[in-house]
Structure 1
Amino acid sequence: MPVERLVLAARAKINLALDVLFKRPDGYHEVAMVMQSLALADKVTLTADRALSVVSTAPDLECGPSNLAYRAAALLRERCGVDRGVRIALEKNIPLAAGLAGGSADAAAVLRGLNRLWGLGLTLSELEGVGAALGSDVPFCLRGGTVLATGRGEALRSLPALPHAWIVLAKPPVAVSTAWVYGNYRGERVTLRPDVAGMESCLAAGDLNGVTARLANVLETVTVPAHPAVAALKAAMLEHGARASLMSGSGPTVFGIADNLRQAEKIAAALRSSTDAWVTVTETAGELEGEDGTTVAADQA
């Protein structure tokens, strides 16, 4: 019986390590990043339809052809010669322009779901190839888990899973453009670069302390001076008991790693009472299962 409706989770991500190596001839930056999936997720509902459309619970989100979820459906339809449409409903839980890959996660969920809804039979590797044409974070969002991303972010190698951890997220009330951050990045301003090889060794040993001791993000050299609230949130995370804290991606969201759920909730409560940031508690999540990336989808009557 043909599937007519699917509901998928589009998971957020954080960067445990983010290094920018050099600017490539194609205009992108060569990066080395250790990326980690979170349980925090948007809910993406796909319903078979004649036309292609997107609706969202976020009033500020553009839902037309420039929307990344819309673009994912349009690109997949074009590449696979599909003559059907889909209604994409986005229940947004991941804040916009936050450094948490919310748009990329939605696009990845659309690719996974339409692979099943349209009966395309693409492998995860093939879906990642489509995702790479949409954005550097989309291939990671298709795979999930703990991953080393190189190239412009699309070349992935799965790493041993990060030991389970509770994560506090805090986003100050500002939006940061990823293009602006990379455009203003200057390598000579960086004084601390990530020890990616060392972090890999700690992951292989299941050493959470070793991983947290190596958190580093060179893009803080751009975002923090422009938005001092980022540095203030990092300091507050540590003051209230986080074992480590870092800005995710190009920012402005800051994450803190807590020892347990009780501590995470204590940190979150302190931040809510002392700052104007959006704050939530979540946890790390593993790699998405299934060669074609669709087993996270659930049929709904």
Structure 2
Amino acid sequence: MRQIELKALAKINLGLDVLGRRENGYHDVRMVMQSIYLYDDVKIERKEEPGIEIETNLFFLPTGEGNIAYKAADLLIREFDIKEGVRITLKKHIPVAAGMAGGSSNAAAVLFGMNRLFGLKLSREELMERGVKLGADVPYCIMRGTVLAEGIGEELSVLPAMPKCTVLIAKPPISVSTKVVYEALDSSEIRKHPDIDGLLAGLEKGDLHEIAAHMGNVLEDVTIPMHPVIDEIKREMTDAGALNAMMSGSGPTVFGLFENKMEARKAQERIRTKGLAKQVYVTNIHSARRD
């Protein structure tokens, strides 16, 4: 095998709670993660000469050591003393710096792909152990599906699959710094924690309405006052028929869950027409196969 092509899936947070801050600066979290059919295309090719080359369709992305996909390849090349090099082509569709784990998903795809290309014979668990060295979301991006993440995000438990539904994604034309959001959260008192247990109960029953009713993201209390457009997009989605709408991760992306695809399309058009977001996608839930 000389090359492999993969789909690196985006994620949304159905629930995100922050329990506290560790002395090392990391935060203890309790999150319900869900992968969706919005993805980057990742192609990995072996090349005889050593070194890592990265090509991308976005001019502003780093193509050297500043790219997490580069770090993922470098980690395996060094550990297994791989003499050949790799050329990685990233065709990006997942909004960048948007709370959807686009970079982490690319890194996960590189770990998975190089494991196959070079016959490293690492298990999924062994890939996840290496992934956490690159970022807290990388192990989840290897696992995918509906998952409870605890600790700093690396303690993962498989949950009952999310019921099928339509997902509307809207990323406003603003950038949000995860670091700034968490710093603001640390300096304020958390007034209300999301009901993660209620969300888990809804998943156990396979009840989409109960799941939607218990969605919550503690970071909204910090990010929305900084960027009120997030609340405007949420309101457009719920007015159009979303069961619920919420910010994913530290933002600024908003997602809405719809039973009716036509309602999602109408909301998509309204959000674009009002200029609230240019990157607006209608997609679906992804259920991971469990081997």
Q: What secondary structure does 1:104 align onto?
A: helix
Shift of 1:288: 4.9
Structure 1: how far apart are the matches of 2:150 and 2:196?
A: 11
When the two structures are aligned, how many residues end up with a matched partner? 288
Mapping of 1:120-269 within 5 angstroms?
120-186=120-186, 188-269=188-269
Say whether the 8 Å CA contact 1:44–1:91 is kept in structure 2: yes
How far does the alpha carbon of each residue in 1:124-154 deviate from its partner, in whole angstroms, 9 at most, with x for none?
A: 0000011100001111100000000001101
Partner residue, 2:23 = 25
Shift of 1:289: 5.0
Distance 1:186 1:26, change over 3 A: closer
The AA in structure 2 aligned to 1:100 is M
Q: What secondary structure does 1:184 align onto?
A: helix
Structure 2: how far apart are the matches of 1:189 and 1:40?
A: 34
CA root-mean-square deviation: 1.3
Partner residue, 2:2 = 4
The AA in structure 2 aligned to 1:203 is L
Shift of 1:273: 1.1
Partner residue, 2:280 = 279
The AA in structure 1 aligned to 2:155 is A
The two structures have a TM-score, normalised by structure 2, of 0.96
- Residue 54 (str. 1) matches residue 54 (str. 2): yes
Partner residue, 2:33 = 35
Say whether the 8 Å CA contact 2:233–2:276 is kept in structure 1: no
- Residue 101 (str. 1) matches residue 68 (str. 2): no
The AA in structure 1 aligned to 2:13 is N
How far does the alpha carbon of each residue in 1:134-191 deviate from its partner, in whole angstroms, 9 at most, with x for none?
A: 0011111000000000011011001000001110011110111112211221375433
Identity of aligned residues (%): 45
The two structures have a TM-score, normalised by structure 1, of 0.93
The AA in structure 2 aligned to 1:167 is V
Partner residue, 2:116 = 116
Say whether the 8 Å CA contact 1:18–1:216 is kept in structure 2: yes
Structure 2: how far apart are the matches of 1:35 and 1:105?
A: 13
The AA in structure 1 aligned to 2:167 is I
Structure 1: how far apart are the matches of 2:262 and 2:268?
A: 10
Moved more, 266-275 or 208-217: 266-275
Shift of 1:218: 0.6
Partner residue, 1:15 = 13
The AA in structure 1 aligned to 2:41 is K
Structure 1: how far apart are the matches of 2:289 and 2:280?
A: 26
Shift of 1:117: 0.5
Structure 2: how far apart are the matches of 1:200 and 1:239?
A: 26
Say whether the 8 Å CA contact 1:192–1:216 is kept in structure 2: no
Say whether the 8 Å CA contact 2:34–2:285 is kept in structure 1: yes
The AA in structure 2 aligned to 1:33 is M
Moved more, 133-142 or 191-200: 191-200
Q: What secondary structure does 2:185 align onto?
A: coil
Q: What secondary structure does 1:61 align onto?
A: coil
Q: What secondary structure does 2:120 align onto?
A: coil
Say whether the 8 Å CA contact 2:240–2:264 is kept in structure 1: no
Shift of 1:84: 2.2
How far does the alpha carbon of each residue in 1:45-70 deviate from its partner, in whole angstroms, 9 at most, with x for none?
A: 00102321111011111111110100
Distance 1:20 1:181, change over 3 A: same
Structure 2: how far apart are the matches of 1:78 and 1:26?
A: 27
Q: What secondary structure does 1:107 align onto?
A: helix
Say whether the 8 Å CA contact 1:73–1:114 is kept in structure 2: yes
How far does the alpha carbon of each residue in 1:101-140 deviate from its partner, in whole angstroms, 9 at most, with x for none?
A: 1000100000100000111000000000111000011111
The AA in structure 2 aligned to 1:24 is R
Question: Segments of 4+ in structure 1 off by > 4 A?
Answer: none
Structure 2: how far apart are the matches of 1:169 and 1:117?
A: 33
Shift of 1:275: 2.3
Shift of 1:192: 2.8
